[in-house]
Structure 1
Amino acid sequence: MSAYSFRIHSLFMRTCIEIEANFKVILAENNCSRSGRQLNMVDYRRVDATHHLSSMLPIWSGSPPTLRPFEQWRPLRGLPSPHGKGAPISWYQDYNTSKHDRHDAFKKANLKNLILSVAGLLVIVTSQFGAHDFGAGTPAIVWSNGYQPMRASIGELFRVNYPTDWAEDEIYDFNWSDIKDQPNRFGRIDFDATPLKRRDARWTMHE
């Protein structure tokens, strides 16, 4: 897990850039007045209050089998950041350090951090789209060998334990036939009020 290389460094950088892009578009598509300036993990942690990222656990065939990329956020979910700080995510801190000081912090771009960042990206994408990858391929029948206790996610490498800690006021349902002709089918999340209060009754989805 401590192995490092130029290839691992490149993949680690690309993965974390994709993570940042997903956080930014979630905030930009909703009510977040801060989305026009430089965002950071203090802002991104607001998404945990609405999507329960820290409760989503990818499982894979490596060791440890269950990954917890946003575990540090869970105790502070829905609470203001202490002293303006955002419950640091260790692998993301190592990404920033290695990005800005590759000479002295090159070893921080190691295999362990790469795996955690890929799991983090999987969590963010799955929290928005479930197992739907919107690919252009044709429908197919898939046979799986062996029992899997967790649900499928985007791609074939990981499976995910989806959050089970939703409060009653966070759970919603809808009838598609009732809303299909409405111009605004999805409400917007008030991220300016997050994490100080819970999200609105509906998620928004961006195109």
Structure 2
Amino acid sequence: MPDFGFLDHEGRFGAFWYDTEEKITVFLPHQISPIMEGSIAIWKRHGEYEGMPGDKFKYSAEINAAALVTANVNCYMRKDTVKPLAIPRGSYYPRVWRGIPPKHILDSGYNGLTLSDAELKTKTQNSLSAASLFEEMNNLFRSVEPSPLNDAAFGHKVRELLILACTEVEANWRGVYEANKSSSKKPDGTRDYVKLKPLLRLDKWAVRLKNHPDYPPLKPFDGWSDAEGMTTQSLPWYRSYNAVKHDREKEFHRAALGSLIMAMAAIHVLQVSQWGPELYHRFQDNQFSIFETVETPEYEAHEQYILVEAGLYPNKRIMYFG
């Protein structure tokens, strides 16, 4: 029998599975004691009095029995959200966030991605590298106002930062790609990196400049195409980087402020899509960015990771690329 994920009446994540045909284990990470147990036998004795009318006919005994366990702690399962887990319990894609963002300041949301010491080190190094570039961008904004009217402005400092920003993007692309492939083949530039778009759902993230509300929201990976010959061409800001890196004399005008802002936005998106949007939340990781996340992908309950810190399950990397 598969493991199942679900949402409760407040949109909080939970899961359940059957250790035997009778024994249910329910996982409610928002509870002080997140692991609870029950059995189908209890549902069979009391089920006719529990749940909404018709539930015992609309849903299986396994689902109804699990819902009875959650109800004991005033957590009411939305049975229509129950689906088999897409990622096996105890498994995860390295450097790929799956979670449910907090809905308000008192809500912790859900982030099942627990990191190894090596992954924590990578996360710290990445966020510090990104913060350094964001600080440089802030300094530039003291001379040139980020405005659509100035998007075409270009210059040597913009070119320098565009090259640095895009090499940081490439470093993140390569890191995630290498962590999620099983072969020893080296990635072939954007022809391989575009495969990260569905894995990280890069085109579903949107950001905006925190201190410049008149600048429009940005989706740096929107329109990234995997069509032959388009994996670089479909990212205008990355195409501009390649042009000014290889031929400054002829392409200098493409070292434009608008491309730089979009490249910096791409760095922010790559950080939160790997480690979660709480990376930049004030009361959580509190790393520095000139951007704030305004749109995130919607990961359903059955797409969440279950990596229990108590050591009940050994965390196992699974490869996305064969």
Partner of 1:41 in structure 2?
Answer: 190
Q: How does 1:1-207 map to 2 (within 5 A)?
A: 1-31=151-181, 33=183, 35-36=185-186, 39-60=188-209, 61-73=212-224, 81-83=226-228, 85-86=230-231, 88-130=234-276, 131-132=278-279, 154-166=287-299, 170-179=303-312, 182=314, 185-192=315-322
CA contact (8 A) 1:16 1:92 kept: yes
2:53 paired residue number: none
Counterpart AA for 2:217:
T
Aligned equivalents of 1:186 and 1:161: distance in 2? 31
Q: 1:179 to 1:126 in 2, by over 3 A?
A: farther
CA RMSD of aligned residues (A): 2.8
Q: TM-score, normalised by structure 1?
A: 0.69
Residues 168-194 of structure 1: per-residue CA shift (max 9 Å, x gap): 6533334322457x3xx24233224xx
TM-score (normalizing by structure 2): 0.46
Structure of greater Rg: 2
CA contact (8 A) 1:72 1:89 kept: yes
Between structures 1 and 2, the one with greater strand share: 2
Deviation, structure 1 residue 45: 1.2
Q: Which runs of 5+ in 1 are unaligned?
A: 134-141, 144-151, 193-207
More helix by share: 1
- Deviation (angstroms), 1:153: 7.6
Question: Which 4+ stretches in 1 moved above 3 angstroms?
Answer: 32-35, 164-174
- Distance verdict in 2 for CA 1:63–1:33, change over 3 Å: farther
**Higher-RCO chain (CA-CA 8 Å, sequence separation at least 6):** 1
Alpha-carbon distance, 1:34 to partner: 6.8
More off after superposition, 97-106 vs 123-132:
123-132
Q: Percent identity?
A: 24
* Paired residues, number: 167
Unaligned runs of 5+ in 2: 1-150
| Preserved contact between residue 153 and residue 160 of structure 1 (Cα < 8 Å) | no
User: The residue matched to 2:245 in structure 1 has which SS?
Assistant: helix
Indicate if the aligned counterparts of 1:24 and 1:35 stay in contact, CA closer than 8 A: no
